[in-house]
Amino acid sequence: MNIALRIEYDGGAFAGWQRQANAMSVQQLLEEAVERITGTPVTLHGAGRTDAGVHALGQVAHFHTASRIPPEKWRLALNRVLPPAVRVQDSCAVGEDFHARYWAVGKRYVYLLRPCAVDSALWRGRAWQLRHGVLDAARLRQAAALLEGEHDFAAFHSTGSGVRDTVRRLYRVRAEEWEGMLRLEFVGNGFLYNMVRILTGTLAEAAMGKRGLEEIRAALESGERRFAGITAPAEGLYMAEVYYPRRQGVPAFASAGPWRPEDGGKGDGDGRFTDRRE
């Protein structure tokens, strides 16, 4: 069977999603957990690679197994052997050819910013704590509006990803007040390496009056990194949801995403992610 999982994890406890040579990753931990249960090695394929410190509320991964464990029971079986920092929230059978990464047509990310005079002990490692930072929410929303739509986001990604096509569509860039913080939400058909963190850094600088709206326009038009803001810390970022097309064989727990009717419920991509990691 091909089993899909929806996974939540505390990224601060790991070196990221992908297997590393000298550090524990979420992928390795889950693969070892499956092997411990079945006695057979497996390879998990995730919807996207998150860096060290980045959290997940809805990472999706799949693996093939000959085990007779019912698909819906994998959630319980894995949570019995996993540490508290990783929880499988859902498990189900999917089509034999389903691939968590290549079938994905979009993602939703959330980023938490906490302006403060003193750091919070409880939000340490969970939000970007901006000491003595004053964020103008109205100005932040103005900057966010510039980012929505289809643009060349070359100025908003880190080098080294090897991606040639840097055009992406952001369906939603929103900011709302939440628990004394600002909660940013990004929904798009694909994301470049560190794109969300650089977008967040740019929005934060705009909200603090350190970056003008004209610079953001220049970044989109020129593709030059110097016009965009800093790369926000990893600990405030959450992979919230992965979207899949409305077709047979996708996870039962998957959402088709907030696509427009004219998109046919599939977003603008061809169902193959080209991003490296966030």
Catalytic residue numbers read 51
Query: How far is residue 89's CA from residue 27's CA, in Å, rounded to a whole number?
Result: 16
Answer for the pair 62, 249: CB distance below 8 angstroms, yes or no. Answer: no
Closest residue by Cα to residue 60 from 32, 95, 12, 101: 101
- Reported as type and span, the H/E element at residue 38 is helix 26-38
User: Tokens in use for 152?
Assistant: 């060349």
Q: What is the CA radius of gyration of the chain?
A: 19
The bridge status of strand 55-64 relative to strand 237-243 is parallel
Q: The tokens of 157 are what?
A: 């990604």
β-sheet bridge partners, residue 148: none
Report d(CA 214, CA 254) in Å as an integer.
38
Distant-in-sequence, close-in-space partners of 118: CB < 8 Å, separation ≥ 6: 131
Distance CA 76, CA 51 (A): 27
